[in-house]
């Protein structure tokens, strides 16, 4: 392992034209990126496959095994293309939206990707374009078009988003394109899949059925108001959520988003579920080399409030300074973690069933804290031991020693977990010796200091966490 930043908060970096060069990917890994997001709303399978191969080759080279998240685009509704690339809409104008995606746009109207406009929209409904910058009031349908009055105008460009807050949409959450992308994700053994525009638990259940047993951790994107009221049921069926503040802030009044973010963080924390906070975190770094003070505070507070991971979108996909954006986010995370200390350490998780492995994880965290242990070290084949310990957000780092690269990648999104490749162990004596060697090599402990060891005996049996030892390093 060449370089490692010993931070607890994980960083998800989106790949795109600004960051697909192998040299840039390697620099982002060394700057602190833990997971790379492939956005299936953009690019094609050929481009994504190239990025997957590059990431895995660089992981082998550096010894830092980062995860890959495939983000399904879902039923994102967009306008089509204009004759001139844009149209200026002014307050009071009449403007139509068509169900025909090939309807070329003019100042009078434009086609959309949504075939149920005239079915779902009613007179008086509000429709938002371009992330809420343009507001339309529904007037009347005519054939396959709906006519609107412009309430708030602006410049509307090709392929901008269309939101219909408060309207019950007829479209399925998982589209045909999503199913094709999911097959690609499974074939190429990605580590995580994010489902966009989740509205109910059934959406996640359908995705699980499509996975057909594939080893992929599901991240449900919370960007629709309906998902908030169904959050507990959604959490029952996924490994974590992404707070996608972009569409959430369009579907709901923007001033309510901070409170909703805190609510989601708290409910996920109680249930030991992973939370990624995303969207516009360091937006100004699309152009600038340093973020605004407000952005810095946003990232800092998201971490203090309990985010397991924070995400960069356009900042790394299309921004001018992708590596600096990752480095800045890592620096903010380290500062936030200093302030948090043991504040976010959960002595008990009210929403987690008390199985044996959960009790062992909790005991390991408490013992480590009370003994002033320098690290928690787990030997794991599946990664489950480290995952269970991570839920409690202990103040010490969790080092997951495993012989499997897939397990390292699976743990790349888990708060506080540092995955390390080691040889397979045959005995507890081997485990203890290897733990000491790895901890000293990473300069985590010195002779005479304590580490907390956690494993399952007999060694190699999955789901058998039953061993813990407070070990003084020789």
What CATH number should be reported for the domain holding residue 132? 2.40.33.10
Residues 48 and 145 in one domain: no
Q: What is the CATH number of the domain that holds 64?
A: 3.20.20.60
pLDDT digits (tens, 9 = 90+) for 374-432: 999 999 999 999 999 999 999 899 999 999 999 999 999 999 999 999 998 888 889 88
Residues 201 and 140 in one domain: no
CB atoms near residue 349 (< 10 Å): 20
Q: Which residues are catalytic?
A: 37, 78, 221, 279
Answer whether residue 246 shows pLDDT above 80: yes
Residue ending a domain, among 133, 163, 193, is: 163
Predicted local distance difference test score (pLDDT) of residue 463:
65
Q: What is the CATH number of the domain that holds 442?
A: 3.40.1380.20
Could you tell me the pLDDT band of residue 350, with boundaries at 50, 70 and 90?
confident
Burial class for 334, CB neighbours closer than 10 Å (0-12, 13-18, 19+): middle
Q: Which helix (H) or strand (E) holds 141?
A: strand 134-142
Which of 453, 445, 454 has the alpha carbon at shortest distance from 474?
445
Which residues make beta-bridge pairs with 86? 157
Which of 313, 274, 269, 236 has the alpha carbon at shortest distance from 417?
274
Answer whether residue 437 shows pLDDT above 70: yes
Residues 133 and 254 in one domain: no
Predicted local distance difference test score (pLDDT) of residue 349:
75
Predicted local distance difference test score (pLDDT) of residue 347:
67
pLDDT digits (tens, 9 = 90+) for 130-173: 989 999 999 999 999 999 999 999 999 999 999 999 999 999 99
Predicted local distance difference test score (pLDDT) of residue 113:
95
pLDDT digits (tens, 9 = 90+) for 9-59: 999 999 999 999 999 999 999 999 999 999 999 999 999 999 999 999 999
Tokens of 352: 């987690």
CB atoms near residue 191 (< 10 Å): 23
Answer whether residue 435 shows pLDDT above 80: yes
- Tell me what percent of the residues of the chain surpass a pLDDT of 90: 86
Enter the pTM of the model: 0.94
Residues 184 and 113 in one domain: no
Could you tell me the pLDDT band of residue 3, with boundaries at 50, 70 and 90?
low
Which residues make beta-bridge pairs with 398? 376, 417
| Rg value, the chain, Cα | 24
Task: Calculate mean pLDDT across residues 67-80.
Answer: 96
d(CA 112, CA 76): 11
Tokens of 298: 């946003």
Predicted local distance difference test score (pLDDT) of residue 31:
97
Residues 263 and 148 in one domain: no
d(CA 48, CA 241): 23
Q: 264 with 228: CB under 8 angstroms?
A: yes
Predicted local distance difference test score (pLDDT) of residue 460:
66
Would you say residue 3 lies in a domain? no
Domain holding 273, by residue range, is: 10-74+173-339
Within 8 A by CB and 6+ apart from 41, the residues are: 71, 73, 76
Q: What are phi and psi of 158, to 5 degrees?
A: -55, 145
Task: Calculate mean pLDDT across residues 56-84.
Answer: 96
Answer whether residue 345 shows pLDDT above 80: no
Within 8 A by CB and 6+ apart from 354, the residues are: none
Q: What are phi and psi of 292, to 5 degrees?
A: -75, 160
Residue-averaged pLDDT of the chain: 94
pLDDT digits (tens, 9 = 90+) for 86-138: 999 999 999 999 999 999 999 999 999 999 999 999 999 999 999 899 999 99
Residues 69 and 95 in one domain: no
Residues 157 and 201 in one domain: no
Predicted local distance difference test score (pLDDT) of residue 206:
98
Q: 19 with 28: CB under 8 angstroms?
A: yes
Residue ending a domain, among 115, 144, 163, is: 163
Residue ending a domain, among 339, 369, 401, is: 339
CB atoms near residue 426 (< 10 Å): 10
Predicted local distance difference test score (pLDDT) of residue 474:
87
CB atoms near residue 255 (< 10 Å): 8
Answer whether residue 2 shows pLDDT above 70: no
Residues 243 and 333 in one domain: yes
Could you tell me the pLDDT band of residue 339, with boundaries at 50, 70 and 90?
confident
Residues 59 and 100 in one domain: no
The CA dihedral of 453, 456, 461, 462, to the nearest 10 degrees, is -80
d(CA 184, CA 210): 12
Would you say residue 408 lies in a domain? yes
Within 8 A by CB and 6+ apart from 12, the residues are: 33, 34, 35, 36, 37, 69, 276, 278, 309, 310, 311, 312, 413
pLDDT digits (tens, 9 = 90+) for 193-232: 999 999 999 999 999 999 999 999 999 999 999 999 999 9
Residues 181 and 205 in one domain: yes
Answer whether residue 462 shows pLDDT above 80: no
Within 8 A by CB and 6+ apart from 330, the residues are: 5, 7, 11, 31, 32
Cα angle for residues 452, 454, 460 (degrees, 5° grid): 150
């Amino acid at each position: 392992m060449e370089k490692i930043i010993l931070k607890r908060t994980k960083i998800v970096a989106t790949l795109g034209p600004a960051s697909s060069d192998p040299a840039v990917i390697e620099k982002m890994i060394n700057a602190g990126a833990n997971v790379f997001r492939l956005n299936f709303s953009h690019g094609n399978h050929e481009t994504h496959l190239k990025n997957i191969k590059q990431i895995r080759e660089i992981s082998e080279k550096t010894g830092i095994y980062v995860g890959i998240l495939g983000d399904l685009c879902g039923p994102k509704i967009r306008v089509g293309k204009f004759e001139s690339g844009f149209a200026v809409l002014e307050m009071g104008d009449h403007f139509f939206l068509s169900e025909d995606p090939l309807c070329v746009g003019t100042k009078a109207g434009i086609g959309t990707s949504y075939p149920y406009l005239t079915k779902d929209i009613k007179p008086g409904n509000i429709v938002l374009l371009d992330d809420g910058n343009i507001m339309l009031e529904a007037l009347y349908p005519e054939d396959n078009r709906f006519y609107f009055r412009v309430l708030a105008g602006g410049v509307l460009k090709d392929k901008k988003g269309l939101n219909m807050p408060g309207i019950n949409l007829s479209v399925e959450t998982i589209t045909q394109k999503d199913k094709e992308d999911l097959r690609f994700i499974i074939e190429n053994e990605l580590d995580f899949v994010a489902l966009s525009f989740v509205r109910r638990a059934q959406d996640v259940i359908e995705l699980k059925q499509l996975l057909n047993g594939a080893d992929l951790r599901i991240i449900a994107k919370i960007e629709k108001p309906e998902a908030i009221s169904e959050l507990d049921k959604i959490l029952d069926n996924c490994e974590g959520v992404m707070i996608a503040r972009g569409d959430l802030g369009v579907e709901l009044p923007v001033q309510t988003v901070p409170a909703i973010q805190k609510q989601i963080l708290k409910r996920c924390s109680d249930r030991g579920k992973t939370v990624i906070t995303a969207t516009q975190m360091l937006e100004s770094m699309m152009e600038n080399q340093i973020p605004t003070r407000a952005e810095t505070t946003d990232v800092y507070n998201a971490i203090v409030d309990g985010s397991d991971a924070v995400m960069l979108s356009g900042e790394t996909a299309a921004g001018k300074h992708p590596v600096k954006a990752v480095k800045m986010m890592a620096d903010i995370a380290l500062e936030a973690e200093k302030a948090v200390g043991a504040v976010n350490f959960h002595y008990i998780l009210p929403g987690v069933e008390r199985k044996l492995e959960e009790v062992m994880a909790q005991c390991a965290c408490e013992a480590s804290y009370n003994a002033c242990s320098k690290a928690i070290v787990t030997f794991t084949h599946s990664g489950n031991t480290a995952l269970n310990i991570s839920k409690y957000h202990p103040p010490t780092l969790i080092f997951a020693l495993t012989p499997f690269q897939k397990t390292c990648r699976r743990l790349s999104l888990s708060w506080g977990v540092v995955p390390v490749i080691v040889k397979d162990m045959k005995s507890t004596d081997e485990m203890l010796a290897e733990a000491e060697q790895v901890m000293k090599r990473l300069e985590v402990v010195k002779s005479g200091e304590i580490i907390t060891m956690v494993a399952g005996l007999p060694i190699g049996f999955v789901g058998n966490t039953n061993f813990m030892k407070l070990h003084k390093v020789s």
